[in-house]
Structure 1
């Protein structure tokens, strides 16, 4: 039987009042407040209960108790049901999978991400040719092929992220990638402008799934923050590399074999990616894996009352709507870390997509280069991304050595990732000033194009630092936290590019890029605020408090198990000595 603390922790979720809430058990405020304050309190209460209930389930998954004859770790709840959990060094636990298997998951996930991100900027160099075919002349209309895709990025992650934490990662990935492939085919065969925009929106909606799910998958298989950070750095490099490759494909296809071949190439790649995903990609979400284990046990022995803690959660439609699907929105509204991160990344991401409209203005209109050559000038940005990866690995090595020397600053959570964003922010702002004030007819186009190196380096460091911090801070809610960040930045990336042409027409190249550089420099202070006050901010977070409590409980449980094992071993030795003495 489980100890009283464990049994208490596995009560039906709706019966366990949150210790974090300042409300009554019914969720009503304990004092009269205004409407907006009351709404804020309701949202915070739901977040508190959501965080505590999921961390409680996660804790049950990782408790290790005597198995009572079951071929897996288990504990008992108050109704005498056996709660299936992981054993020590359990081979089915994703944290214990082989490096080879995790490498395959990594590569497959990066391939799915490349589908999504490449699709976002795929029409950039093909727009003049498709608008000519369909007679579209409005400058606002010409931005829509990218903007409608990014509208899908706004709404898609709000669905995919939390659902992946409710029903698992694999099935959603297979379904979303399959439909993404279908909508890409629709883009290639579109009969008119309106149909094309509809297919672009659908492509963005289903293509956004990897952006929300992959970070969760990596958190599922890497328990070590260093290994997880490295995997995420490759993920971020892929999110940048995809959009930079697409203009090159579009630029050369559109001018030679036709703009529709831009999407045929994307379709071929999507189909090739879909094969390993459907055939070999495993489920990585531990609660789903434990649920499958419990069902196998019940199928093998119908008298066995074995359940995964995840199965005992309340999963009615009210639970799904109020807690699961609203989780990313609630995190934006109530979690300061998520709110500030979303604000900063939204601006940086929007500027990244503005560049797909700004580069033709600078290098085609000003310097008279062809679409294909203009596409190639995105390569310095990817060069900066690769340099940023080198900086990231150098920082990881420095951090590891500092920890071995027990430097006090290494004990602070924020110093693990955020310094990278603090370095990248000013570099990103400088790159915009560089591009804006060096783009002149009497200056060779190589000079402003080299600003792409600083642009890519700063962009990558900001994303690696901020999103790694987000993933480390929220762990099992990493998919929802990243879904919130993805939706917020995609929203601004939809709106700001619509103003690209008017902004450059009114302010000129120097003024437009100077304005964007100034805004970037202003928000680059957010990582420094996290370094300064991050610990205090996390202390007020419902999710972070629950995570800290769960870790303390698991640590106590592990210590208790070690004492039991040590006591049993001592008793066994004493008994053996007595037998030998007799």
Structure 2
């Protein structure tokens, strides 16, 4: 792979009798936008693989939970879902305390450190002697696995300057990363037949392979690249006074780090776009993880399938995830084709990204009521199972559109915006599965699932409201980047750090 060293050829010689500010312009070969096609593709694929590895591990207990419960003799149904829930608790804390580090130390060191912790935690899960030890290692696995969920979005914002190419790349890797989530229970249900430990050994192997690939990952965070260039220049005899903007911050390292760590929470509570986008995506994400617990109840309890076979019920959902990319591609092609004649308002991020979220919300409601009222022994099992196809499409339309919307809106701070969204998503995903057993045993499949459908109905207005008022809301934001109409929605970097000290 190409060297991670920042080239100096295009950098002009500085007057070294005064402090010189080192920057990398958009025409500079060292700018991530101008990385070679091979280099950008490698960075996109490796970080996308990290995302997929993280989501695959999140769904592991969905297929292995019965084997884990049998091995450790766990009878309490709330405890059975604890390995799933505690992983998502790690997902909650990871974006708050780890992901923002990529906006201070760079993308590559953050991803490497997180993967190393995940690798060790996965081995710990595979060797866990007790259920308590398994839960502890699952927490640290979730904590470290949360990093790719948000940092990868920042990497894509670093690499792709226009929203068209970035949107397609983001949609592809989000879908690829989501297939393991919905199909993971099927895989792990069969892998765990000899022993549930084989599931954790599988994730350990994938993490080890990722670690090797990350060694050759180029740094993509522009302020870090500018710092690297300044350090290279200072190594020479004539440029000892060269500094990057990030090095001229007057605050202490602790203050800078504190600002980075607090940014996701500040963005969630202070940015209406982040707040409502996070809530909208959180519901379908939480329902997905509740279905990991509910599907065995439906297809094992009602239709008498074995746990391994009942895991196959997730395959239609995986099909829906695949089909969603075709829907996203059609919408993107339609939008780009009509962009030259569009009004300035129709060129903003809301009109480009959120119509898919509107459609996804409606499809989510349809799929949940379909599942609710067709899950009966008098109706063939294929009918409720096929509702997962619609749910899979809805899941991706919502997740991809919200992911792209936040990335378009927040640019170099997208890792923090996505971190806030991921935190809320994971919090909901961790809590809702705990109620699965009580809901389905007390209310029955029809009404328990219908309650989820009614909650989805309540969320439908959110993307419609953002389409109308989102641009005005973003105009008052200190974090949002400027979006230029009729320029393929090119995202301009805003030097907020030097102005506000954020």
How far residue 411 of structure 1 moved from its aligned partner, in angstroms, is 2.6
How far residue 132 of structure 1 moved from its aligned partner, in angstroms, is 1.9
1:272-291 matches, cutoff 5 A: 272-278=209-215, 280-291=216-227
Show the counterpart of 1:107: 45
Q: Which moved more, 1:400-409 or 1:116-125?
A: 400-409
How far residue 406 of structure 1 moved from its aligned partner, in angstroms, is 3.9
Q: 1:128 aligns with which of 41, 66, 88?
A: 66
How far residue 191 of structure 1 moved from its aligned partner, in angstroms, is 0.3
Query: Compared with structure 1, are the counterparts of its residues 76 and 341 closer, same or farther at alpha carbon in structure 2 (3 Å cutoff)?
Result: farther
1:474-489 matches, cutoff 5 A: 474-489=410-425
Match of 1:208, SS state, is helix
Show the counterpart of 1:145: 83
How far residue 544 of structure 1 moved from its aligned partner, in angstroms, is 2.7
Show the counterpart of 1:511: 447
How far residue 303 of structure 1 moved from its aligned partner, in angstroms, is 4.8
Q: Is the 8 A contact 1:76 1:82 kept in 2?
A: yes
Q: 1:384 aligns with which of 320, 337, 340?
A: 320
Show the counterpart of 1:343: 279
How far residue 258 of structure 1 moved from its aligned partner, in angstroms, is 1.5
Query: Compared with structure 1, are the counterparts of its residues 225 and 117 closer, same or farther at alpha carbon in structure 2 (3 Å cutoff)?
Result: same
Unaligned residue ranges in structure 1 (runs of 5+): 1-68, 555-582
Show the counterpart of 1:357: 293
Q: Report whether the alignment pairs 1:332 with 2:268.
A: yes
How far residue 122 of structure 1 moved from its aligned partner, in angstroms, is 0.6
Match of 1:125, SS state, is helix
1:187-336 matches, cutoff 5 A: 187-255=125-193, 257-278=194-215, 280-320=216-256, 322-336=258-272
Instruction: Please give the per-residue CA displacement for 1:112-139, whole angstroms capped at 9, x wherever unaligned.
Output: 1111111111122222222222221111
Query: Compared with structure 1, are the counterparts of its residues 267 and 318 closer, same or farther at alpha carbon in structure 2 (3 Å cutoff)?
Result: closer
| Alignment RMSD | 2.2
Instruction: Please give the per-residue CA displacement for 1:524-570, whole angstroms capped at 9, x wherever unaligned.
Output: 2100001121122223322237889x95999xxxxxxxxxxxxxxxx
Instruction: Please give the per-residue CA displacement for 1:318-374, whole angstroms capped at 9, x wherever unaligned.
Output: 423542110000011110001101111121111010010011011111111122222
Query: Compared with structure 1, are the counterparts of its residues 87 and 479 closer, same or farther at alpha carbon in structure 2 (3 Å cutoff)?
Result: closer
Q: 2:11 aligns with which of 65, 68, 72?
A: 72
Provide TM-score, normalisation by structure 2.
0.92
Show the counterpart of 1:56: none
Q: State how far apart, in whole Å, the 1-side matches of 2:494 and 2:76 are.
A: 61
Show the counterpart of 2:101: 163
How far residue 272 of structure 1 moved from its aligned partner, in angstroms, is 1.8
How far residue 162 of structure 1 moved from its aligned partner, in angstroms, is 1.2
Query: Compared with structure 1, are the counterparts of its residues 88 and 253 closer, same or farther at alpha carbon in structure 2 (3 Å cutoff)?
Result: closer
Q: Is the 8 A contact 2:68 2:196 kept in 1?
A: yes
Query: Compared with structure 1, are the counterparts of its residues 486 and 73 closer, same or farther at alpha carbon in structure 2 (3 Å cutoff)?
Result: farther
How far residue 442 of structure 1 moved from its aligned partner, in angstroms, is 1.1
Query: Compared with structure 1, are the counterparts of its residues 530 and 87 closer, same or farther at alpha carbon in structure 2 (3 Å cutoff)?
Result: closer
Q: Is the 8 A contact 1:105 1:281 kept in 2?
A: yes
Match of 1:519, SS state, is helix
Q: Is the 8 A contact 1:160 1:212 kept in 2?
A: no
Q: State how far apart, in whole Å, the 1-side matches of 2:232 and 2:493 are.
A: 31
Match of 2:378, SS state, is coil
Query: Compared with structure 1, are the counterparts of its residues 547 and 320 closer, same or farther at alpha carbon in structure 2 (3 Å cutoff)?
Result: farther
Provide TM-score, normalisation by structure 1.
0.79
How far residue 521 of structure 1 moved from its aligned partner, in angstroms, is 1.5
Q: Which has the larger Rg?
A: 1
Query: Compared with structure 1, are the counterparts of its residues 435 and 155 closer, same or farther at alpha carbon in structure 2 (3 Å cutoff)?
Result: same
Q: State how far apart, in whole Å, the 1-side matches of 2:110 and 2:117 are.
A: 11
Q: Which moved more, 1:368-377 or 1:178-187?
A: 368-377
Query: Compared with structure 1, are the counterparts of its residues 498 and 232 closer, same or farther at alpha carbon in structure 2 (3 Å cutoff)?
Result: same
Match of 1:394, SS state, is helix
Q: State how far apart, in whole Å, the 1-side matches of 2:468 and 2:171 are.
A: 24
Which has the bigger relative contact order, CA under 8 A and spacing at least 6? 2
How far residue 213 of structure 1 moved from its aligned partner, in angstroms, is 0.8
Q: State how far apart, in whole Å, the 2-side matches of 1:553 and 1:88 are.
A: 13
Show the counterpart of 2:488: none
How far residue 253 of structure 1 moved from its aligned partner, in angstroms, is 2.1
